[in-house]
Chain A
Amino acid sequence: MSNASSKTSAASILRGSLVPLLVVAFWQALSSSGLINPVVLPSPVAVVVRWWAYLLPAEAYDPAQSGWFLWALSGEMLTDAWSSLYRVVLGFAVGAGLALPLGLVMGTSERAYGLMDPLLQVLRPIPPIAYIPLAILWFGLGNAPAIFLIAIGAFFPVLMNTIAGVRHVDGIYLRAARNLGAGPTTMFLRVILPAATPYILAGARIGIGTAFIVVIVSEMIAVNAGLGFRILEAREFMWSDKIIAGMFTIGLLGLAIDIAMNRLNNHLLRWHRGLDS
């Protein structure tokens, strides 16, 4: 039984890696043929070598300088990834931190909704990228404008989903809670909020995806560290292998964030019907 299932999983791994391997082989053949200038398209081997160099610490290990662990993390890539991740998390926390209470109020109170909705409808279609000039004007260069832009990117998805989540709470839960004697505070904290979490978390997921897009863009204009900055810098030196290595790193970080969000989701919604798998 386990033999058969390990056989099928080996087969599925093989099948899954077929297309990527073919693409890499084609890419390698193309660059080995000498038809294309390596500055335009470096070979996959060159990209991997460059990626490895990007990952490793720049200086040799010196016990007098720092501990072993810090040294291992001192490579350029990990520093960049850390700077980008820091901005995403901080910007997301600011944006979602403002959107969540506002969305809860707007979802619960018709009056608050009527007051706030017109303004938000006007602001919502403006892409976060369009705030770049204003962000630089207001906050100068550095982390502040980047975090401002990321916060805007995360704000609207979380807001919209929180409002929808609160409005879609099934009336039967409200009736049951009122029957059990729940007052407004209990109703809000223990019924409306948890009932709305599936929506809120879906919004958070979209929000962090947007934040990740915005962080790369904002790093290309306002700061001098981070994965977005690094690939733009590599372009100035025509290091196409490093550009592609940086892009892969961005993809890996995005994947890691998505997996983390998924885990969080599964934990917080362990009670939810749709998540049996």
Chain B
Amino acid sequence: MARLLTMTQDDAAMTTIPASQTAVPQIQVRGVEKVFTVGAQKIVALQNIDLDVQKGEFVCLLGPSGCGKSTLLNAVAGFQPPTRGTVTADGKAVMGPGPDRGMVFQEYALFPWMTVAENVAFGLQIKSMGKAEITARVDALLEKLHLQDFRHRYPKDLSGGMRQRVAIARVLALDSPILLMDEPFGALDALTRRTLQDELLRIWQEVGKTILFVTHSIEESIYLADRIIVMTYRPGTIKQDVRVDMPRPRDGASAEFNRLKRDLSLMVMEEQQRFSADEIRSVTAD
């Protein structure tokens, strides 16, 4: 299933994924293709995507911008059905968005007319959960994400990092087995970003969710993921499926980290160059 790696097998940080997995994967993507038609132009955003994510796995989709990471995530979330192929989550075919696959957006997507607590409670109210239970759950989540003191604030009065904490609390409230995150920390400064990465890892280890996490940052993917899926640019395919076996917390200064970083950089750079060449072409064509 996975393409063959260019790396050597004895590289401890990277090993190929065995061709057959024993457990039933929590997310199963089979033969997915997505074509956007813009005027007369056809953009093949995704082609021939096969991907299995096991229960409890933390998987990063990595690639330069425009390579179809969001499109793949949206197909799993159910926002954009693929042109061809199937997506299965928890054994059920994905037909549309749902609270079993909670999504965290890069733009936070908090409801600005709701306070922090109201945003977190929203999904629970939809489930028609009792008032007392909602309050208890919201309180626990706000505490978990260090938001207790901000519960009555509106999103406009929060920093970017705080907003993304609220967005994370909002999907955690759903208690969905799958978390989908589209460059959630992309707009944050480096320090806030690291703090939130650590908290996400802590929460993930605590509650054992399956996470599919989109990023274009190589370091972020190495810091977080059990597996890194490197994507190609137009058509968007899976270039490489890389397992990361380093113990956490991972040290960005370690030799292993940097070896992996160099290898991934080469791969991403190749795609980045195709992306830049494309951009230059489209600019000169105008």
Contacts and interface: CB of A to CB of B under 8 A. Distances in A.
B103 interface: yes
B126 A172 contact: no
A183 B156 contact: no
Interface stretch (A51-59, A67-75, A269-277): A269-277
B99 A271 contact: no
Contacts of A190: 111, 122
Contact of A179 (B103, B113, B114): B103
Interface in A257-277: 270-273, 276
Nearest to B123: A180
Interface in B89-132: 96-99, 101-103, 105, 107, 109-114, 122-123, 126-127
A124 interface: no
B174 interface: yes
A180 B112 contact: no
Given A176-B105, A178-B97, A179-B99, A271 B123 contact: no
- Grouping DSSP codes into helix (H, G, I), strand (E, B) and loop, the A interface class, with mixed when no group exceeds half, is helix
A179 B101 contact: yes
B79 interface: yes
A180 B156 contact: no
A221 interface: no
B275 interface: no
By CB atoms of chain B within 10 A, which of A180, A190, A197, A271 has the most? A180
Contacts of A180: 99, 102, 122-123, 126, 170-171, 174
Interface-central residue, A178, A194, A197, A273, by most chain B CB under 10 Å: A178
A232 interface: no
A175 B113 contact: no
Contact of A273 (B112, B127, B174): B112
Contacts of A175: 79, 97, 103, 105, 109
Contacts of A20: none
Interface string B58-101: 00000000000000000001010000000000000000111101
Contacts of B257: none
B150 interface: no
Contact of A173 (B111, B156, B171, B174): B111
A149 to B, nearest CB: 34
B112 A271 contact: yes
A181 B127 contact: yes
B204 interface: no
Contacts of A177: 111, 122
Interface residues on A, range: 20 to 34
A175 B106 CA distance: 13
A182 interface: yes
A93 interface: no
B97 A183 contact: no
Contact of A176 (B101, B111, B127): B111
A191 interface: yes
Given A186-B126, A270-B154, A271-B156, A179 B102 contact: yes
A272 B185 CA distance: 24
- Which of A173, A179, A270, A272 counts the most B-chain CB atoms under 10 A from its CB? A179
Contact of B97 (A172, A179, A270): A179
Nearest to B170: A180
B112 A272 contact: yes
Contacts of B98: 179, 181
A272 B114 CA distance: 10
A183 B112 contact: no
B109 A172 contact: yes
Interface in A128-142: none
Given A178-B96, A180-B174, A181-B123, 5 more contacts: A178-B79, A179-B103, A180-B99, A181-B99, A190-B122
21 contacts: A172-B105, A173-B111, A175-B79, A175-B97, A175-B103, A175-B105, A176-B103, A178-B79, A178-B96, A179-B77, A179-B98, A179-B102, A180-B102, A180-B122, A180-B170, A180-B174, A181-B123, A190-B122, A271-B114, A272-B113, A276-B156
